[in-house]
């Protein structure tokens, strides 16, 4: 039985080239079919334009950031400034809801959001999205967030953040600490870390204190990013001003977070 001439160097070279070509072709076809079969993650970002100017600036930059990664990450990224879009009809077509610079204010908007989250929806809130005057304003949300706003720093300043948990899909690959750009930082009561449902992902490093001049965070344990394990959610305290999107490291976290919320991590 003839099997060619395995001792002929030219024959072996040709065979190797042929195999290399075949492997490259199989690999390329496999990647094409994976990405074409992969459903886009349907993300809807809520924002407002009538709020504090620094919060509007953040929302605009966050929107262009997510628009910029949408093709690469296969996101179906949409935005709305109509908070009445927090309704069952719109939400049934969403996987991930972002609140960039505000929060719902009517009972119907809040109820639609509660139902969305209680039935497998995913959420990422930035900065003022987690703000609430007191627990009484919306008790469900206080339990969902795991705490209530209690104070803030001023003026906006950069801060060193400790990445507490680098095993979470949203923080995997991040350094142990990094400098987060200028932001107004919030403190919380009760301490999020004491809530058994809360998984703290990033915290203000002790080296930042005292943080602020006019309003100062004097110290203590101040988490800035966390997840509530009962839901598919992440809260991030960043979101004030035009510098938030300047950190590559932090942007990687924002991107990872949305991919995780969309079920890709
Ligand atoms: Zn702010």
Phi, psi of 104 (to 5 degrees): -70, 150
**Residue in this structure with the two tokens 């879009």, named with its chain if needed:** 85
Cα-to-centroid distance, 184 and ligand 1 (Å): 5
Residue 206: pLDDT band by 50, 70, 90 thresholds?
very high
Average pLDDT (33-59) is 88
What three-state secondary structure class fits 8? coil
Phi, psi of 79 (to 5 degrees): -130, 155
Residue 38: pLDDT band by 50, 70, 90 thresholds?
confident
| Any domain includes 125 | yes
Reported as a single tens digit per residue, the pLDDT across 152-193 is 999 999 999 999 999 999 999 999 999 999 999 999 999 999
| Any domain includes 21 | no
Q: Is the Cβ–Cβ distance between 46 and 100 less than 8 Å?
A: yes
Locate 145 and state its tokens.
């967030």
Q: Give CA–CA dist 28/31, Å, rounded.
A: 5
Cα-to-centroid distance, 26 and ligand 1 (Å): 51
Q: Is the Cβ–Cβ distance between 246 and 155 less than 8 Å?
A: no
Residue 3 has pLDDT above 60, yes or no: no
Residues by chain with Cβ below 5 Å of ion ligand 1: 184, 240
| Any domain includes 29 | no
Cα-to-centroid distance, 129 and ligand 1 (Å): 10
Locate 180 and state its tokens.
């987060």
| Any domain includes 15 | no
Cα-to-centroid distance, 156 and ligand 1 (Å): 8
CATH classification at residue 153: 3.40.50.880
Cα-to-centroid distance, 247 and ligand 1 (Å): 18
Best CA proximity match to 225, nearest among 216, 233, 217: 233
| Any domain includes 22 | no
pTM (two decimals): 0.86
Q: What is the longest distance spanned by two Cα atoms in the chain?
A: 89
Q: Give CA–CA dist 105/223, Å, rounded.
A: 25
Q: What is the pLDDT of residue 11?
A: 58
Residue 25 has pLDDT above 50, yes or no: yes
Q: Give CA–CA dist 218/153, Å, rounded.
A: 9
Share of the chain above pLDDT 70, in %: 86
Cα-to-centroid distance, 53 and ligand 1 (Å): 9
| Any domain includes 14 | no
Domain of 73 in residue numbering reads as 40-261
| Any domain includes 199 | yes
Cα-to-centroid distance, 55 and ligand 1 (Å): 6
Q: Give CA–CA dist 18/217, Å, rounded.
A: 65
Cα-to-centroid distance, 116 and ligand 1 (Å): 26
**Residue in this structure with the two tokens 């719109």, named with its chain if needed:** 90
How big is the chain by its Cα radius of gyration, in Å? 23
Cα-to-centroid distance, 185 and ligand 1 (Å): 8
DSSP-derived letter for residue 84 is G
Locate 98 and state its tokens.
């972002």
Please measure the distance between the N-terminal and C-terminal CA atoms of the chain and give it in whole angstroms.
52
Q: Give CA–CA dist 144/227, Å, rounded.
A: 10
**Mean pLDDT estimate for the chain:** 91
Cα-to-centroid distance, 54 and ligand 1 (Å): 7
Q: Give CA–CA dist 127/188, Å, rounded.
A: 12
Return the higher-pLDDT residue of 10 and 194.
Answer: 194
Total of domains in the chain = 1
Average pLDDT (84-111) is 98
Q: What is the pLDDT of residue 265?
A: 84
């Amino acid at each position: 039985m003839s099997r060619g001439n395995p001792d002929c160097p030219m024959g072996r070279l040709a065979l190797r080239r042929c195999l290399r070509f075949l492997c490259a072709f199989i690999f390329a076809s496999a990647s094409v079919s994976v990405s074409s079969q992969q459903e886009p993650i349907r993300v809807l970002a809520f924002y407002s334009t009538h709020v504090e100017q620094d919060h509007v600036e953040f929302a605009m930059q966050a929107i262009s950031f997510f628009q910029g990664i949408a093709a690469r990450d296969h996101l179906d990224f949409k935005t709305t400034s109509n908070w009445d879009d927090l309704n069952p009809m719109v939400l049934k077509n969403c996987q991930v809801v972002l609140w960039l610079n505000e929060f719902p204010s009517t009972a119907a908007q809040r109820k639609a959001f509660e139902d969305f989250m209680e039935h497998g929806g995913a959420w990422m809130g930035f900065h003022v999205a987690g703000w609430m005057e007191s627990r009484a304003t919306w008790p469900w949300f206080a339990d969902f967030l795991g705490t209530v706003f209690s104070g803030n720093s001023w003026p906006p300043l950069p801060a060193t953040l400790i990445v507490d948990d680098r095993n979470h899909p949203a923080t995997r690959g991040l350094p142990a600490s990094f400098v987060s750009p200028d932001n107004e930082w919030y403190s919380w009561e009760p301490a999020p870390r004491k809530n058994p449902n809360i998984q703290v992902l990033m915290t203000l490093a002790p080296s930042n204190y005292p943080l602020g001049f006019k309003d100062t965070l004097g110290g203590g344990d101040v988490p800035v990013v966390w997840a509530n394990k009962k839901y598919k959610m992440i809260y991030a305290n960043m979101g004030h001003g035009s510098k938030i999107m300047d950190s590559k490291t932090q942007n990687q976290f924002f991107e990872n977070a949305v991919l995780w919320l969309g079920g890709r991590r």
